[in-house]
Amino acid sequence: MKNKSSILFFILGTFFVANAILAEFLGVKIFSLEETFGFDPINLSLFGFDNLSFNLTTGVLLWPVVFIMTDIINEYFGRQGVRFMSITAAGLIAYAFLMVYFSIGLTPSDFWIERATPSGILNMDLAFNTIFGQGLWIIVGSLVAFLIGQIVDVTVFHYLRGFTGSSKIWLRATGSTLVSQFIDSFVVLFIAFYIGAGWDLKLVLAIGVVNYIYKFFVAVFLTPMLYVLHYFIDLYLGKELSYKLIDEAAKSSRSR
């Protein structure tokens, strides 16, 4: 039985960490949500700024998955499990960025630098450095926002659990995600662009609101996935072990 719970923690944790790292690196691409689905840009007006559309980092596709994994780990392994995985993920993200910056400093082979493409000659070294060489403030902002978001998520999750008990997982999971992603949306922009790039605070707030609108609807849309995951986890563990883990997670979290 203990082996099953360990395997579950390993699977959830590795998926959690993999998505967090992927979200960081995929985030260098900005895409248009409206144009991806064939719609005209929505052109919102917020805080005195016009023509604001859903131009999002590709990382937003994966962060909701990270927060769902957070809630599932929270449900079965409590605060301690989430804290362990969050610190592990943050450490590995920092390590990954360190290795990327080390690779940027390596001297490229002459035959690799230029590559012919349908659009012309591409400087591979310049492209590599541009794509992977994110600014320091963006990295710092993303890591700080991630850790704060995780702390807020687990805190709100267990606060709501005090009212719902073992029922209404949708309320505590979705509620904690909506609150934590609200914090995350503004912290990363504030550090990376207000402090790091000198953007106008109103512009940071406007972009933060647009990002959060997207995250809000995605979090609500993905709520049924919690029940799907819950069902298969309970099927794998068996009802007895599943209820035992959930009960122990709730008790350990209340005692901290």
Amino acid 92: pLDDT: 93
Q: Is the Cβ–Cβ distance between 12 and 69 less than 8 Å? A: yes
Domain of residue 111: give its range.
Answer: 2-51+58-254
Q: How far apart are CA 215 and CA 90, in angstroms?
A: 21
- The DSSP 8-state label assigned to residue 190 in this structure reads I
Amino acid 27: pLDDT: 81
Q: How far apart are CA 86 and CA 205, in angstroms?
A: 26
Amino acid 8: pLDDT: 92
Amino acid 2: pLDDT: 58
How does pLDDT run across 60-101, given as a tens digit for each residue? 888 888 888 888 999 899 889 999 999 999 999 999 989 998
pTM: 0.85
- Per residue of the chain (256 residues), give pLDDT as tens: 558 999 999 999 999 999 999 988 888 888 898 999 998 888 888 888 888 888 888 888 888 888 888 889 998 998 899 999 999 999 999 999 899 989 998 999 999 888 888 888 889 998 888 888 777 778 888 889 889 988 888 888 888 887 776 677 788 888 888 888 888 888 988 888 888 778 888 888 888 888 888 888 888 888 888 889 989 999 998 888 888 888 888 776 565 5
Q: How far apart are CA 173 and CA 157, in angstroms?
A: 6
Centroid of chain to Cα 58 = 11
Tokens of 230: 């819950």
Number of helices followed by number of strands (H, E) in the chain: 10, 6
Amino acid 255: pLDDT: 54
Q: How many domains does the chain have?
A: 1
